[in-house]
Chains A and B, each alone.
Chain A
Amino acid sequence: MLAFIRGRLLSGLLTIFGVVVLVFFLARLTGSPIDLFFPEGATQAQLESFSRAHGLDRPLLEQFWVFLSNAARGDFGMSIWQQRPALQAALSEMPATLMLTFLAMTVSVIIAVVLGTIAAAFRFRLVDRIITILTLATGSIPHFWFALVSILVFAIILRLVPTSGAGNWQSWILPVATVSLGPIGILTQVTRGAMIEVLSSGFVRNARARGFGSTRILYRHALRNAALPIIAVAGDIAAGMVNGAIIVSVVFAFPGIGKAIIGAVLARDFPVLQACIVVVGIAVVLLNLIIDLIYVVVDPRVRLS
């Protein structure tokens, strides 16, 4: 068990290292922050002192080495634009991202499991058809379109929720709905498929033959067995949300790591960009580890190795 966790963390660190290397060099291909920061007429002395202050005057490989050795100690340098450490700039955006991911995943898993189970229990009947069509639709609606239309309808016309920001709880509704939409569609179909397979198994037939009620059969006997594929897919989706939720940050001006990454890319704020990537990487690695551990709890046949 411990060996498994250690192995997973190690391979996770390797992955993060690889991504950071890529980001480090790719970001510098886009140009220098100097071009953005100084107006046309800036003096050579100003440019040089700025370069020196941020280490931009050194050879690329040396910059990389300095970055690596500092990062190993948890120091990602100062943000170029914000007067604070890059790591702090990245971390301060994480609570909103984690909260959004958590809410969206909770909402979509609950809705999808209920809908998928109903669809499987009544497969090929009318309810099943309706659920399938609806969830295929939500799974394929473009996020941008949904976000814009929902702002128009709920925020501007009906004035039920604010148009942007993350001030009060109402402002979370549209962002959570937007990022849940796709996952609800996918997870409902995954649940339905897994449940249909489980419901035709021998042990479900035996549970019926023993006179158990349908609620007990569906939720205690079938769902627990259908949980593995649902968890696997939900895990992937959650990892994607930690990564992105970029639409939400753009359309709803919603805080989060997505917004921080976009900001850092546009402003060529390399230290913040690198810190964000590492923070997201660590979050994703931890998330995957948690999902592996949930597997073990849910299915006794799963062996960690």
Chain B
Amino acid sequence: MSYLLEISDLNVTFETRFRTVPAVRNVSLAVGQGESVALVGASGSGKTVLGRSVLGLVDEPGVVRGSILFDGRQVVGRTEEELREIRGVGVAMVFQDALDGLNPVYSVGSQLSEVLTVRLGHSRAEAKERAIELMRQVGIREPESRFNNFPHQFSGGMRQRICIALAVGMRPKLLIADEPTTALDVTVQAGILRLIKTLQRETGMGLIFITHDLAVAREVSERMAVMYNGQIVEEGATEEIFSRPQHPYTRALLLAHPARAKSWRDLEPIPDEFVTDEPSSDNQTVSAPAPTASIG
């Protein structure tokens, strides 16, 4: 079987004059057509950097080594100009920090139309019609009257939904959603998850859903990869991982998750040895004592 996305032996390091930060280490991951993969892991574990490298969006001083095959074609080492073919129409990404994700000086409608005319070759009239349709799909009420509004006239949640509309509007084969709901309140969050799943069903796109929320990961994904300190330490069917976590870090994550606890007294803090702000530069794989509690 050929995969939509096949990452093998990927290493991303940030090399500054003073030190070298290995953000992604020896990562291999494959995503099939229409498949949903959740990428979970603590802050700083390299999830965003991994997502960006698929689009060729790792900038200096980042260095990418290894192989990323998208649709059978190599992404690593391509020029900015060559990457344009893949970006947006092949792989689209919704970024973590949505607040400055829209250009403040153009109306939301014109930004949606721009994508559709420039990237998909729609006529202006077609583009406007589809842009309004997209706004409706992501749950913007009265999209016709909101079309000419500027980003600052929308709430943070609405802006994030516009960013999603911009990404899925190009009908990408793969959508990378980087914690698209972290900044939003719970009610909006559920709506956006449902929206992404619906869009996925409609368009048949593959999905990499980056999150540190295990409940969310369980809801959206068939497969799950757990990242820790730049490495994927565990990967498999989502349900399998929830019922039989193999790696101590995954077990610790599951124990620390509020959804499992009846009261906060049941929560286990993540053991200190897993709490890292920065990935350490030693290259050995993670080994840590198994947490004492057993997992039901």
Contacts and interface: CB of A to CB of B under 8 A. Distances in A.
Interface string B103-116: 11111000000010
A137 interface: no
Given A206-B163, A225-B105, A300-B150, A211 B57 contact: no
Given A300-B152, A301-B150, A209 B105 contact: no
A211 B99 contact: no
B134 to A, nearest CB: 14
Contact of B84 (A202, A213, A298, A299): A213
A211 B84 contact: yes
Given A208-B87, A211-B88, A213-B84, A300 B104 contact: yes
A211 B100 contact: no
A50 to B, nearest CB: 61
B95 A210 contact: no
Interface of A: 201-203, 205-214, 216, 221, 224-225, 298-301
27 contacts: A202-B100, A202-B101, A203-B103, A206-B102, A206-B166, A207-B103, A208-B57, A209-B55, A209-B57, A209-B87, A209-B92, A209-B95, A210-B92, A210-B115, A211-B83, A211-B86, A211-B88, A211-B89, A212-B118, A213-B84, A221-B103, A224-B103, A224-B106, A300-B105, A300-B150, A301-B104, A301-B152
Interface in B44-101: 55, 57, 80-81, 83-89, 92-93, 95, 97-101
Contact of B95 (A202, A214, A221, A301): A202
Given A202-B95, A209-B93, A225 B104 contact: yes
Chain A binding surface, main DSSP class = helix
Nearest to A201: B100
A210 B150 contact: no
B150 to A, nearest CB: 4
Q: What 3 A-B pairs come out closest when comparing CB atoms?
A: A211-B87, A211-B88, A202-B100
Contacts of B104: 203, 225, 299-301
A205 B84 contact: no
Given A209-B88, A209-B93, A225 B103 contact: yes
Contacts of A298: 105
Given A211-B85, A301-B150, A206 B118 contact: no
B119 A203 contact: no
Contacts of A224: 103, 105-106
A10 to B, nearest CB: 30
